[in-house]
Amino acid sequence: MSDFQYTPDQEIQIHREAAIRLMCQPFLSHENGLPEWVKNSAAAYIRVAREPDKRIIVLFFRSMHKPQPPAIACLDFVGMTSTQIERDFRHWADPNAARRESAPEARIGELGGHGNGGKCYMTQMFEDYSYLFTVRNGLACKYGVKGGSIAFGYVPNSETGKDIQVSNIIESMKSCLQIVKCDLTALPYSVQSATLAATGFTFFCGIAPRYWQEREVCQRLIESLLSHHQMITPLQISQIYVIVNGVPFNGGKPLELPRINPLPGFESPRTISVPDVLRDPISNQNVSTRNGSALPSGHIKIFTSDKNMRFGRGGRRQSRHTVTFHTDRSGVIGKIPMNSLEVESNFRDYMYAECFLESLDSFQQNNRGPLSESPLTRAVENWISAQVRAFCRDLEDRERKIIREQDKSELVRLNEWLDHWKNQFLQEFMQGLYGEGEGRPNDESKVLPSGIPAKIELVLTNPRAGRGVYFRPIIKFFDAANHRIRPVPFRWINEDNNVAMIDEELMLVRTFSFGATKIYAETLDGKHKSNTVSLEVVRIFEIRVVPHEIEMPAGTRRKFEAICRLSNGLEVSNVYLAWMENNPSIARVSSAGLVYAFSPGKTEVTATDEICRSDVPAIITVIPETGRGEGKERGKGFPKLLISEVECAPGEDIPPIFRSDEPPVHQRPQDIDKVWWINLASPFARYYYTGSTYGVDSEAWRMYHVERVIDVIVQVALSHGPDSEDSLDPRQWIHRSAEIEADIRQRAIESLKDFIESGETQA
């Protein structure tokens, strides 16, 4: 022990307001603040050991009713005394505030905290003021704070706002309900019963919530509550009702967490004890998980889900797709997303976990998110990753056994036929690109002959687009001999200009609002009309660009996939977006994700629309141009098409297993110019291949299989185009590439129509 001696100051100096505002930063939104009110109400029930069926919490949302501003409120039927307000509630950063006056049998630790969240929400997120009105033991208190202030006080003062005698608790409650425009008789029956039987209650209310836009705001906030990690325990142990403008939400039924059904055969969680000593992966030193032997041992529970949790519909499953950390003292102290674990398996997306370890208590942060970094927390997270990896390996082994041999054989047969067809198709198509056959697409650098149109062909490379995105449709004119000719004057016909509009001078479509429209073109004399194409402008919640990083020689082409999660939970990749490069002199990307490498260097690329943006930029590294062969030599020995989990690469003995968040068609570094994989772990591949409604013999699977083959053909065609294309400027090349992709898709679908409809593989 050191013999260092000093005389500590008797008072710790701190700038109170600055410190409070700093600790309140995690609660600068209704999505993070309102769950704190709900958690506090649930904790109040646990403190008094109220029976589970009598733990009723009511949330109220009141819209603007001039001259009254909107309001948000939370009601429970426990109540506080002035002693609790002054000793516990008004004290900031008191970790024991939630534990005092607990019944001996109450497990208050499950909802412990720092004593900040509810107050932070009240001080920051309401323009006018917020307050609590509470009744306990026949006495009422009104305690609140003005918007923007951190100084709470009795309303209007302690003489008239503290320990006021209440003769009729029902009338007091009715007065509170009037604030949120609600009548007692409109409440659900169980809430009415709780009201009539109440001996106390607490009514939290905020007036004029910040950032409150009337349209759909209540629905969005309710959805966020169902996906917030602080709401999981309150929803499990309480009945939480919502009233919007005096009308019960959800038909008067309480909110419910989505049920997560386990994978068949794994109905019980896998429980594993935490070793007493773990190794820190950074310092490589051993750390104790029990503070020597002073604390009890811990354990983790790993649960499974029968549906993908990372991309679950509506965002509710994603909120549970975490490792949550618990201690007896403080309850839920933090969480990390499952996809932050070092686990290379798609089965990770079908798991969630709970870790119970007392020694982690001192590492919780104010927002109860990731724990503070330390040798112990690093060691624990590294150990959890290892346990999840081991569980995933067991599931992968089982999956290999589950896939029926006859399905494997049929899948391999279909894929071999499509691989052979792909090579023939590419050989013919690439000869056309090099000018050795019919069908070479024309570009803007070539002068088309004039002629009399007999047919107009309109193509969109993608059927969907984000909002606020520009892209160029492809239109071609043909004469009676089916030769392409120069366009004649024409006009665009668009079914719904509110969804998208076409700039006829720039030949660009711009999207404006969510919805669907149909587009076609016709000559000015009205004699000839193109085919009609459909365009859907979709609401995007998440964008992931795959692959995350590519390396390509200057002058070559590749294609990014932007995986978009839509509002209906679907994941799609064929969406027009705006692509932004931080250095377009190195590489450029079209609205369809087509990449052209210009000069050596590195650039970051993001995909976006008006609302959503890819969180992690993709990296393009352009290396100096390498010898790629001349003209006719290209197109020989095209990469082989194989299926993950079923087929092996040349020289390998075990089929690879990819993650669900890797591209639908994928290449490992060792596969370049050798193999393209159809990723069987991709969510839609798994859905069509193993789903009970479809399967390998279904038309849905064949269509999906064909789409992935076309993706490979497009990649090969763009990567091995003619040298003469290098002279095109970016605008010309991007337009030309879109034409090539559209041409490939149209020809391939026409060629494979019989295969898609019937599975016919005869030549």
3 state SS of 340: helix
How distant is the alpha carbon of residue 689 from its chain centre? 24
Distance (Å, rounded) from C-alpha 523 to C-alpha 189? 66
Distance (Å, rounded) from C-alpha 635 to C-alpha 426? 7
On the question of pLDDT at 341 being above 50, the answer is yes
Tell me the per-residue pLDDT of 293-304, one tens digit each, with 9 for 90 and over: 899 999 999 999
Q: What is the pLDDT, as a whole number, of residue 284?
A: 92
Band of residue 663 on the pLDDT scale cut at 50, 70, 90: confident
Identify the helix (H) or strand (E) that includes residue 588. strand 587-589
Distance (Å, rounded) from C-alpha 334 to C-alpha 370? 6
To the question of domain 455-537 being in CATH 2.60.40.1080, the answer is yes
Q: Spell out the residues 6+ positions from residue 240 whose beta carbon is closer than 8 angstroms to its own.
A: 38, 57, 58, 59, 234, 254, 255
Distance (Å, rounded) from C-alpha 95 to C-alpha 88? 10
- Residue with tokens 């070559």, as numbered in its chain: 556
Q: What is the pLDDT, as a whole number, of residue 629?
A: 43
3 state SS of 304: strand
Nearest in space to 421 (alpha carbons), one of 10, 171, 750, 98? 750
- 665-666 sheet: strands from edge to edge: 640-643, 675-678, 665-666
Pick the CATH number of 16-252 from 3.30.565, 3.10.450, 1.10.3470, 1.25.10: 3.30.565
Q: What is the pLDDT, as a whole number, of residue 94?
A: 65
Ranking 235-244, 433-442, 539-548, 572-581 by mean pLDDT, the lowest is 433-442
385: alpha, beta or left, given left = phi > 0 and alpha = psi -120 to 50? Answer: alpha
Q: How many CB atoms lie within 10 A of CB 138?
A: 13
- 571-572 sheet: strands from edge to edge: 540-546, 561-566, 571-572
Helix axis angle, 16-23 to 117-124, nearest 10°: 100
Q: Answer yes or no: are the C-beta atoms of 64 and 207 closer than 8 Å.
A: no
Distance (Å, rounded) from C-alpha 440 to C-alpha 435? 6
Distance (Å, rounded) from C-alpha 540 to C-alpha 129? 35
Q: Is the pTM of this model over 0.85?
A: no
- Residue with tokens 């608790």, as numbered in its chain: 169
List, in sequence order, every residue forming a beta bridge with 579; answer none if it has no partner.
Answer: 607
- Averaged pLDDT of the chain: 82
Q: Answer yes or no: are the C-beta atoms of 442 and 474 closer than 8 Å.
A: no
Alpha-helix residue ranges (DSSP H) falling in 539-674: none
Q: Answer yes or no: are the C-beta atoms of 744 and 711 closer than 8 Å.
A: no
List, in sequence order, every residue forming a beta bridge with 145; answer none if it has no partner.
Answer: 130
Ranking 259-268, 366-375, 541-550, 626-635 by mean pLDDT, the lowest is 626-635
Band of residue 356 on the pLDDT scale cut at 50, 70, 90: very high
On the question of pLDDT at 55 being above 90, the answer is yes
Domain boundaries, the chain: 16-252, 270-402, 404-434+634-763, 455-537
Q: Which two tokens stand for residue 687?
A: 């859905």
On the question of pLDDT at 313 being above 50, the answer is no
Distance (Å, rounded) from C-alpha 221 to C-alpha 216? 9
